[in-house]
Each structure stands twice: as structure tokens, then as C-alpha cells.
Amino acid sequence: MRFGNGRFGFRTLSAALGLSLSLLAGGAHAEPKKEFNIAWTIYVGWMPWPYAADAGIVKKWADKYGITINVKQINDYVESINQYTAGGFDGVTATNMDGLTIPAAGGVDTTILIIGDFSNGNDGIVSRTANTPAELKGESINLVELSVSHYLLARALETAGLSEKDVTIVNTSDADMVAAFKSPETSTVVTWNPLLAEVKAEPGSAALFDSTQIPGEIIDTLMVNTEVLKDNPDFGKALAGIWYETMSVLTDPGEKGNAARAAMGAMSGTDLAGFEAQLAATKLFATPQEAVAFAESEDLVKTMDLVRTFSFDHGLLGDGAPDKDIVGIAFPGGQVLGSADNVKLRFDASYMKLAAEGSL
């Protein structure tokens, strides 16, 4: 279960803490080292990391490169990214939007090393009074403000020619979302699975928009500190090896795969059926070839332009950010969105390519 500790949460801390965190992180110079720390939080697309640790896959690949990789769970998602941003971890599981608005906006040069999946129905809007995004006009809508749920709503409203000015947003904790929807005062919520499944099951409710209608925009990744990666390329190679070996187990249709998926479900507070239901609403990049193609597509550039626009409009690039170009985002092939002199978020397909070529 992802109640309160999934990949969604408040980003308001990022703007307030960004400067101090960047100073803290920026003061430490990376250098060759032998031991690395990765932080993860509970979400269907990130459960392969703790499974890989338990199954010995992490140690296998770390040993190959003569290093140690520690995979540590953090109970609070935003806290995990803040700790990474402050230099407490070398890598962290996070969404594309949060990578931009927390470490990158905070001044920590961050590389997206693994593109694991994108939400393909795990996020949605459910209402008792509206059946289409156009019918949301004038509605009060409960969601976790400044989260990817907020982003999803903004994108849904755009499809109907509406904006956030046409609705009233009610900031609601993820832990309170299901209870809120049971209240007669609440007509519409935006949330994610497994909460989404619960509110959709309420009598008289209708799902009117979900992430399948904005495919590829809510992306789940493993990101690492760029300086650490630059000085320790074997760290990146080991991570890519771990990930794709684990993907081969996760997608195994036989008993081996069933056991792995059941184990990942148990680690996240559900069972095999529950975990597979969440996987069904997730576009998993099970092979490095798929992930490389996605990373090199022009669609990713368009997506990140949408994400950075939303982030700037909502103050998530920092209080003093003059425009959305303040943080540069680099893509495979050398294309840069925003300031080329201040690139702080990088999509790097090179390690996924090594996996695709069998060169790890």
C-alpha cells in the first residue's frame, strides 16, 4: 500500500529548502569510492529494488564491479528525495516531475539513469457529479496539492478548454482521500492506486479521466547524483545490470515470476493479485531496448516541457525563478530544454544502452 509513502506527495518543501540543500550538496565533491547508497519508497514500479536486494541480485552485480551497493527503504517519499538532495544518498527512486522540482531545482545535478515505467491508469479522476472533464467546471476537487495528481487534473482540464481557475481545489492528504470521498461534501477526487480503486468502487461514482489519456507523462525512474556517476561509472553499470536482471524475473510468466511478484506485493502491503492489478495499470519498460527508445524519443522532450511549465506555474522551480528556462534539462543526443548553462536534470540512456547491447 502506498498510503502516505508512495511516489506522490507535497513538493512545497522543495522550493523552501532548495537553496540550503543545494549548498549542502554542492559543497561535497564526488570522488571514486567503493560503497554507494540508494533510497527507495513503496510503489509498484520501484519494488524491484528491494526484491533485487533480498534475492542477491544487487550483491551479484556489485561484486562484479568490486563495489558495495546498499538499498535502503525510506518511509516518506518526499523525505527520501530531500535526503538524496542533501547528499545522504547517491541515488533515489522518484518521478520525472519530482526529480526536476526537488534536486534539480535545488541545484543538485541529477541523472536519470533508469526509466522504469510510466503510469498507465494508476492515476485518475473520479466524480459523482461529472462524467467528463468539461463537466468539472465549477466543481470542488479534492487532491494532494502540487503532486502529480494536481498535474493530472491540469492536463484533464486542458483537454476540455478549461483551467484551474474554473474549479476549486481542496488540498487533501492521501491518507484522508478515501474517507473524504465518502463524505457528501466531496464530489470529485484525483488520486492513485490503490486509493483510486477504492473510490471508483463507491456507489454512484464514475472515472472520467486517467493517466492512460496522457501516456508517458508520469514517469517513474531511478536517478543518481551526476558527479558521483561521472567519477564512478561502474556504479551506473551495476545499477543497470541489477535492474534488467530483475525485470527478467519480474516478467517471467512461470512460477519464478509468480514468486517474485508475490514477494514484491508482500513487501508493498498487498498480495500477488493486488500487485499484478497495479502492474496492469503500469507501462513497464521491461527491456532496455524499450527504455532507450523512450528516452531518445521526441515525445519525452514534449513531456518535460509540459512538466516544467506546470512546475514553474505553480512555483515549484523556486520562488525566485524568473521563467521555466531556469533549470536546464538534457536529453540523449544533446538536446537541452531551458538553460544550457544550468543543466541540472539529465536523461542518460548510455547505461540502458550497455544493457541492451549485453555489454555490462
Q: How far apart are the first and last CA of the chain?
A: 34
Q: What is the mean pLDDT of residues 130-152?
A: 94
How many Å separate Cα 258 from the centre of its chain?
Answer: 25
Q: Assess whether pLDDT exceeds 90 at residue 215.
A: yes
Q: What is the mean pLDDT of residues 214-233?
A: 96
CA–CA separation, 111 vs 252, rounded Å?
29
Q: What are the CA-CA distances from residue 240 to residues 66, 187, 252 (Å)?
A: 15, 44, 19
Widest CA span in the chain: 59
- Which three-class secondary structure state does DSSP give residue 29? coil
What pLDDT does 146 receive? 85
What pLDDT does 37 receive? 98
CA–CA separation, 251 vs 266, rounded Å?
17
Pairing between β-strand 188-192 and β-strand 123-127 as defined by DSSP bridges: antiparallel
pLDDT digits (tens, 9 = 90+) for 149-191: 999 999 999 999 999 999 999 999 888 999 999 999 999 999 9
Question: Domains along the chain?
Answer: 35-118+218-357 (3.40.190.10), 123-213 (3.40.190.10)
Cβ–Cβ under 8 Å, residues 281 and 119: yes
CA–CA separation, 19 vs 67, rounded Å?
32
What pLDDT does 29 receive? 55
Q: Assess whether pLDDT exceeds 90 at residue 290.
A: yes
CA–CA separation, 358 vs 355, rounded Å?
5
Residue 241 is given by DSSP the state H
Quote the pTM value. 0.88
Q: What is the mean pLDDT of residues 275-304?
A: 96
Q: Assess whether pLDDT exceeds 50 at residue 3.
A: no
Q: What is the mean pLDDT of residues 240-251?
A: 98
pLDDT digits (tens, 9 = 90+) for 47-76: 999 999 999 999 999 999 999 999 999 988
Of the two residues 358 and 16, the one the predictor is more confident about is: 358
What pLDDT does 22 receive? 41
pLDDT band for position 5 (cuts 50, 70, 90): very low
Element housing 59 (H / E): helix 57-64
